[in-house]
Amino acid sequence: MLTSLLRTFVMYGAILLSVRIMGKRQISQLQTSELVVTLLISELAVMPIQQHDDPLWNGLIPMGALVFCEIVVSLFMLKSGHFRQMVCGKPMVVIEKGKVLQGQLRRLRMSTEDLFEELRQSGCFSLEDVEYAIVETNGAMSLLKKSANDSLTPKQAGVKVDPAALEVVVVSDGKLSMHSLELVGKTPAWAREQAKHAGLALSDVFIMTAHPGGKCKVIPKDKAKG
């Protein structure tokens, strides 16, 4: 039992390291090569955990080889558009100038129900609102709405608005985030001062957000009911 537990911890750490090396894109939408590597790594990780007679290297070495292959493939895709297209395919237009391209749907083996589900998930509930719809290589759908049906921007309306500013969480459940403070150019002393202005100790802050200009919002922790 203890051997299985230790092997599980080791393989878990190896998988985390593998995904970290391959990049953050692994966590979101997967390209074809990334999906293949992810599935194979998960299968390889199971064998050393279940088969106690096999050394861990029997799983770790193939996992390392797969990560190396994925990095090499990614580099080739960066250098060659033809190679990337061969591995990942190419984006396909399924709606062009408001017209559904039925041939493209058949090539993608996408039903009309699938199409409308993707449109709804992209925030479009009417086919008449769509000018272009493109299925990307990772399977996600990108939309361009018709100009007459798209949201009016402040620029189009001639309205002057304040510049957009980054807002980050600098305190979470009483704990400072040094990385977030650096993003907005603030210090731990500044965060403590803002908590003090709100009548709180830093440990009593549930969430504190901050902008580079100095604007912040403080949400206190709920008091425990006893």
Summarize pLDDT for 38-87 with one digit per residue, the tens. 777 777 777 776 776 777 777 778 778 877 887 887 788 778 778 777 77
**19 pLDDT higher than 80:** no
Residue-range domains of the chain with CATH = 2-86 (no CATH), 92-148 (3.30.240.20), 168-220 (3.30.240.20)
- Helices then strands, each counted (H, E), the chain: 9, 8
Q: What is the predicted pLDDT for the residue at 199? A: 93
Residue 164 is predicted with a pLDDT of 67
Q: What are the Cα distances from residue 110, in Å, to 85, 101, 121, 135, 139?
A: 20, 11, 15, 10, 11
Please state at what angle helix 81-88 crosses helix 57-79, rounded to 10 degrees. Answer: 130
Residues 42, 161: Cα–Cα separation, whole Å: 49
In this prediction, residue 89 carries a pLDDT of 77
